[in-house]
Structures are given as C-alpha cells and as structure tokens.
Amino acid sequence: MAGNLSCVVIGGGVTGLALAHRLLVLGGGRIGVTVLEAQSRTGGWVESHFQDGMLMEGGARSLRVPGNGATTLKLINELRLSDQILPAASAAKVRYIWYKGKRQMIPNSLLSMVGNPLTVPLVSGVALEPFQHRRFIEDEEELEDESMHSFFSRRLGRFVADKVLTAVVSGVWAGDARKLSIRSCMPSLVASERAHGSIILGGLLGGKTPPVDPEVAHAMKLAGGPNGVFSFRNGLQTLTDRLTSEVKRLGGDIRMSSKVSAIMSESPCWLKTGKPKAEVWVGRGGDDVIHADHVFSTVSAPVTGTMIKDADPAAAAQLSQIKNTSVAVISLAFASARDSAGMGGEGMHGGGEGARSPPPPPAGASRDVRAEPEDARGEGRGGGGWAQGKGGFGHLIPAGEGGENAALGVISTSHVLLIYIDNMYI
C-alpha cells in the first residue's frame, strides 16, 4: 500500500468509491488506499444496463440536486462527467397516490387542483401549518428526536402524513416514516420550525439561497436547476465506473471478491512502536491480512458489527441493532405506449395531455413512470416498512380492488418476489 498513511475502505459501492477518491485527492500521494469489495464488480446497488435498446437500472435510478446535491455535482464536475448529465423528463413531475379506491394526481398547478379530491386536505394542511404547536424550539438542541410521520402529522395533519409522506419516504428512503428520524432525513425542516415556528414560514423567510460554487453552476443548470432530478445518459453506473477508473488512476488499489471476515486491533501502543493500527482479515479464515492505519467501513451497520465482534463486542452489539432494508426493483418495458395500453386497459405512458397510466400503489409504496416519445416503461420498488405487515408482505395493487385495471402489482417477501400482470404471477 503506497503512501505514508495506509487506509482500507471496506465496500466498493458508490460511498466507498467516493471516499477512496476523496482520500487520494486530499492525500496528494501521501495516503495509500485499498478498497475491498466482496463482489466481482464495483458499484454496489448501482447497476445500469441496456436491454433491447432501453436503459434499465438495477438499483437507484436518479440523483437529486436539493440537499447535498451541490457536493455531488462538484464531484461530477471533478470526474468530467457534466456532459453526460441527463435531467428528468417533465413527465416525471406528475405523481399519483392511491386514494378513495383510485389513483389521484398530486396537484402541481392551480389547474390540477380543480375537482381534485386531494386539494382540500392538502390546502387546509398548508394553510393551518403556521399556527400549529412548535415542538423544536431555538436553543433546545437536546430535545428528543421525532419520527418523520409524527413531525408531519403535527405540522400538516394526518392526511399528509398518511397519504403523501409515506409514499415519498418509500420512494426516496425505502423505509418506514414512523421509524425514520426527522432530524436525520429532513434537518432543514427541523431548523425551520426551531427558527420560525413553521416550515412554511421557514421556506419563505429562510434567507437568501447560498451562492452556488462557479464550478458547479453549469452542472446544476444541466441537472435541471436547484430542484432538479437527474441521471446520466448511460445510467447511474456511469458515476461508479468513472470513480473506479479514477481511484485506480490516482494509485488506489481495488480488490474484487475480497470479503472481509474480521477487523482486529493491533498493539494499543502503536503510536510508540510505529505498528499499524489495525489488521483487516480477508477471506473466511483470514487468508489474507492487510495492515492499516485507518479502516473505513461503508457496508451496513450489522455487517460491520460482525467484522468487529472480537475486537469490540460492545460496539458490535450496538451496530447489530441498526436495521436496514432491501429493495427490489422491477422494470417493465414496452415497444410503444400503445402496446402497454393492452395491460388492463390502461397505458403506462406518463407524459402528454390526457396520458393514462396504471393505478399507482397505495401510500407507502412506490411506482415511478417515465415515458419517452417512442417507448414507455414502468418501475416498481418493493421494500421498506410497508412490506413488513401481517404475513410479511406488501403489494402495490390492493387485492380485490384493481379489477381489470390491476395491470401491475408486486408482492415482496423476504424469500420470493412475484410480479403480477393481468391476473398472472410470473
């Protein structure tokens, strides 16, 4: 391992690769980095491929500019990938939730509010929000955290929390809104309540938008602006592939099929002796041992816990309590929007005036549609809290409610994934 300081990064997904790249850039040749990936490829959950001329994503399919997006765009600019950015189609702004036995479009304009059964509960929730009780108060940092569902119920009402938030949370975090932390997932909303007593007023009075780094301004424009959602022309794997090549170019060592079995501490007096700080055992019996000054784990908390169970049993026990979820992604593609219309009488075309799509999932599940002029495709994601009900499964189309319109459904369990199309399981 080259360099004065030796670092091991466990996990060759997008997080591990980005970390390795940053260490090498900041180190300027003084930090040696080894990435250990258990699989035969880098990228982790990010995997893009073309099938019959259509791009399919095996995991995440887009990036968002809001939040930490500026940091991501800066990395994209450093990797010389700005010219590969592909912003979301305008049709992607249309969102539906399942309400009163049918799909309802979430209003995104004054015209779409007319006759929409979602308008009254949504507007009333927003209008009353500034007058709701403030829980997070300025200068009270130690106040106990709150779930996302509890926070939105207080601020915007149970309807928004139950029908809108749960669908958003499933699509973005693939988790349960009743268990996810509002401070961790949406810290800006907590800050707005603390400073202004209202998330609506916080958005209006929160001050000027911080200046955009000139290095990222062009990339942000290509990505659709400050609120943009984007990918790359050849899929998100474009990012992980470029990170892989850059880590290697900068002198990093990426080892595939290298599953870590244990992380062991060496002599506690390593600073005096000059010995490395840790041993990383690769293989079932520690067939290969790597010495490192610093070890970074980017795999899940429970998996990391098993690696350090002998070196630090207490920390391993705590890590094992941090739960995570898996997500199944199903992509359906059709030669044209007209062909997809044969599925239960509803097409999957998501764009254009009068466009129609299959019934969306109920709140708490997610189905996204994006359509191009000559094709249509749909994506279903199964996972998160909604899939943990009685019997251990969830489904995108309520049983017995779909009738002939139940074109697409997904049943997800811990062992099997079934796709339901036109009354058939495949």
414 C-beta neighbours (distance < 10 Å), count: 10
Per-residue pLDDT of 305-359, as tens digits, reads: 999 998 889 999 999 998 777 777 777 666 654 444 443 333 333 333 333 333 3
Per-residue pLDDT of 72-88, as tens digits, reads: 999 999 999 999 999 98
CATH of domain 93-205: 1.10.3110.10
Q: Which residues of 105-131 are buried (b: 16+ CB within 10 A; e: fewer)?
A: ebbeeeeeeeeeebeebbeebeeebee
Q: How far is CA 392 from the centre of its chain?
A: 23
* Residue ranges covered by each domain of the chain: 5-61+236-320, 93-205, 325-425
Per-residue pLDDT of 250-282, as tens digits, reads: 999 999 999 999 998 764 444 444 555 788 989
**Distance, CA of 52 to CA of 54 (rounded, Å):** 6
Percent of the chain with pLDDT strictly greater than 70: 70
The mean-pLDDT minimum among 16-25, 59-68, 257-266 falls in: 59-68
Check residue 13 and report its DSSP letter.
B
Average pLDDT, integer, range 185-208: 85
User: Which of 237, 224, 190, 194 has its CA nearest to residue 66?
Assistant: 224
CATH of domain 5-61+236-320: 3.50.50.60
**Distance, CA of 166 to CA of 200 (rounded, Å):** 20
What are the Cα distances from residue 249, in Å, to 28, 29, 244, 255, 299?
13, 12, 9, 14, 24
* pLDDT for residue 69 is more than 90: no
Residues 406, 415 contacting (CB under 8 angstroms): no
Per-residue pLDDT of 112-158, as tens digits, reads: 888 888 899 999 999 999 888 877 665 555 667 899 999 999 999 99
The identity of residue 73, as a single letter, is L
Residues 261, 38 contacting (CB under 8 angstroms): no
Residues 137, 143 contacting (CB under 8 angstroms): yes
Residues 220, 65 contacting (CB under 8 angstroms): yes
Q: Which residue has the higher pLDDT, 269 or 40?
A: 40
366 C-beta neighbours (distance < 10 Å), count: 25
The mean-pLDDT minimum among 101-105, 244-248, 407-411 falls in: 407-411
Half-sphere exposure of 133 (CA within 13 A, CB side): 6
Q: Which residues, in sequence order, are CB contacts of 172 under 8 Å at separation 6+?
A: none
The identity of residue 65, as a single letter, is V
User: Can you give the pLDDT at residue 334?
Assistant: 60
User: Can you give the pLDDT at residue 40?
Assistant: 95
* pLDDT for residue 372 is more than 80: no
* pLDDT for residue 381 is more than 80: no
Q: Which residues, in sequence order, are CB contacts of 279 under 8 Å at separation 6+?
A: 263, 264, 265, 266, 289, 290, 291, 292
Query: What is the overall mean pLDDT for the chain?
Result: 75
Residues 112, 105 contacting (CB under 8 angstroms): yes
Q: Which residues, in sequence order, are CB contacts of 14 under 8 Å at separation 6+?
A: 43, 44, 46, 239, 240, 243
Residues 152, 165 contacting (CB under 8 angstroms): yes
Residues 25, 295 contacting (CB under 8 angstroms): no
What are the Cα distances from residue 45, in Å, to 14, 15, 167?
8, 11, 21
What are the Cα distances from residue 405, in Å, to 139, 335, 382?
53, 20, 20
How many H helices and E strands in the chain?
A: 16, 21
User: Can you give the pLDDT at residue 299?
Assistant: 93
Q: In 256-321, which ranges are continuous DSSP H helix?
A: 270-273, 301-307, 313-320
Question: Following CA atoms 204, 208, 209, 211 in sequence, which dihedral angle do they give, to the nearest 10 degrees?
Answer: 170
Is residue 312 packed enough to be buried (19+ CB in 10 Å), middle (13-18) or exposed (0-12)?
middle
User: Can you give the pLDDT at residue 141?
Assistant: 59
Residues 17, 236 contacting (CB under 8 angstroms): no
316, two tokens: 């391993």
Q: Which residues, in sequence order, are CB contacts of 336 under 8 Å at separation 6+?
A: 374, 375, 376
Q: Which phi and psi (to 5°) does residue 316 adopt? A: -60, -40
pTM of the entire predicted model: 0.73
**Distance, CA of 401 to CA of 103 (rounded, Å):** 12
Average pLDDT, integer, range 49-53: 81
